[in-house]
Amino acid sequence: MLTGRGFKQVYNLAGGIAAWQGHAATGPGEMGMLLLKGDETPQDVIALSYGLEEGLRKFYAGAATLAIDPAVAQLLAKLAEIEIRHKQRLFELYLAVETTPLDKQAFEAAIDSEMTEGGFNSDKLLEQNQPSFKSAAGVLDFAMMLEAQAMDLYMRYADKCEDQKVKAILFKMADEEKAHLKSLGDLQEKYAKR
Amino acid sequence: MRLRNLFTPVTDMNTQQLQTFIDSNDEGSFTLLDVRQPSEYETARIPGSKLMPLPSLDDRLKELDPQKPVIAY
């Protein structure tokens, strides 16, 4: 159907989703979408993303204090640190698009971080997923699931937004999550070889 | 729609090729199209996929950019 309607490059995934070996996202397409109306400015979307990244950082940092195995705690702390870098990149993006920017403290004061990237509440996540924090493999697997959800959420946001600048920011965030997912996969390989 | 297009073969991509394709292309430069039913999409999807169930595909094709590569499943 697509090739007959002007689409130049169309591929079929052989074996469909059943053959897919990467991490999958789950949940309805509307999940986490209440945060977005579709007419947001680049600044709004940056603030929203900043809140989501901070929520995830809080989750990883909280999980690090609960982990019994020091290697797992260290890994969780490292994941929390990566989210700080994500936030820093978002703040730099904010400075680039805002003509009269707030300082970092004032910017952060206006951020809502109650929802994590995948559209969950960080406290509930901690409560429900403590068993995952017993091993590095469990932590990595759980983190990859979260990052896959986050990437999916950014792409759904991008799909909903009309403004091309906003779309570009959201695609960039999805790219960041994709890179994050890849580095988590590399870490998983490293731990699997131990 | 031309009749011959109904029989135009579409290139297959295996999951390894898709992973490499996703890793080496920026998000927003291609479309991952999930043509299954919403319940299947909710259970598991490739992150970043756009849901467009097969029965609604014809009516909603204008939502997609024909210049971007589309990988459907």
What pLDDT is attached to residue A5?
Answer: 85
Asked whether the predicted pLDDT for residue A36 surpasses 90, the reply is: no
Q: Which pLDDT band holds residue A189 (cuts at 50, 70, 90)?
A: confident
In chain B, residues with a C-beta closer than 8 Å to the C-beta of A16 are 73
Asked, for residue B21, whether it belongs to a domain, the answer is no
Tell me whether residues A7 and B64 touch, CB distance under 8 A.
Answer: yes
In chain A, residues with a C-beta closer than 8 Å to the C-beta of B41 are 29
Asked whether the predicted pLDDT for residue A110 surpasses 60, the reply is: yes
Closest-CA residue of chain B to A164: B28
Asked, for residue B19, whether it belongs to a domain, the answer is no
Could you tell me the residue ranges of all domains in chain A?
39-193
Asked whether the whole model's pTM tops 0.90, one would answer no
What percent of chain A stands above pLDDT 90? 31
Asked whether the predicted pLDDT for residue A105 surpasses 70, the reply is: yes
Tell me whether residues A151 and B36 touch, CB distance under 8 A.
Answer: no
Asked, for residue B69, whether it belongs to a domain, the answer is yes
* Contact with chain B for residue A8, Cβ under 8 A: yes
Region B2-7: mean pLDDT is 54
Region A180-186: mean pLDDT is 85
CATH of the domain at B60: 3.40.250.10
More confident residue, B22 or B3: B22
More confident residue, A33 or B30: B30
Which of A5, A13, A45, A169 best probes binding to B when mutated, by most B CB atoms within 10 angstroms? A13
In chain A, residues with a C-beta closer than 8 Å to the C-beta of B11 are 10-12
Q: Print burial letters for B7-39: b (CB count within 10 Å at least 16), e (below 16).
A: eeeeeebebeebbeebeeeebbebbbbbbbeee
Domain count, chain B: 1
In chain B, residues with a C-beta closer than 8 Å to the C-beta of A175 are 26-27
In chain A, residues with a C-beta closer than 8 Å to the C-beta of B62 are none
* pLDDT tens-digit map of B32-48: 999 999 999 999 999 99
Q: Which structural domain, as residue segments, surrounds residue B72?
A: 31-73
DSSP E strand boundaries for chain B: 11-13, 31-34, 50-51, 70-72
Tell me whether residues B73 and A28 touch, CB distance under 8 A.
Answer: no
Asked whether the predicted pLDDT for residue A117 surpasses 70, the reply is: no
Asked whether the predicted pLDDT for residue B56 surpasses 90, the reply is: yes
Give the mean pLDDT of chain A.
85
Q: Is the ipTM of this complex over 0.90?
A: no
A67-71, A83-87, A121-125, B50-54: least confidently modelled range: A121-125
- From residue A153, how far is each of A12, A80, A120 by CA, in Å? 24, 19, 11
CA angle A30, A35, A37 (to 5 degrees): 85
Contact A133, A72 (CB under 8 A): yes
**A39-193, CATH topology level:** Ferritin (1.20.1260)
Asked, for residue B14, whether it belongs to a domain, the answer is no
Give the number of other Cβ atoms within 10 Å of residue A22's Cβ: 17
